[in-house]
Amino acid sequence: MIDLPFYAHAGTDHTGSPRPGGKAFSNARGSLAPGDDFFKKLGIDSLQTLEMLSRLENHFGIELPDYEVQGVSDFKTLAERIQSRL
């Protein structure tokens, strides 16, 4: 399992530098399940989801086409889409 720091337009970035606006996601380790809806569980909107997807693409060095992630809202399906691109 890979532990990624996700930020909702704020907090600090991966280097610890401050980011403007918003706040970092504050879910406790182990509080997210594969079938959880990430919009609800992380409390994010569609713009924040785009940022999360961009960070995942950069982290894994992949591109997730819109048609593959359209309608995806749970961690399990998102992980499957990422895995198919690795």
- In this predicted structure, the answer to whether residue 52 has a pLDDT above a threshold of 50 is yes
Q: Are 37 and 73 in contact (CB under 8 A)?
A: yes
SS (H, E, C) the chain: CCCCCCEECCCECCCCCECCCCEECCCCCCCCCCCCEHHHHHCCCHHHHHHHHHHHHHHHCCCCCHHHHCCCCEHHHHHHHHHHHC
The domain 7-85 having CATH identifier 1.10.1200.10: the answer here is yes
Q: Is the pTM of this model over 0.85?
A: no
pLDDT tens string 54-69: 888 999 899 999 898 8
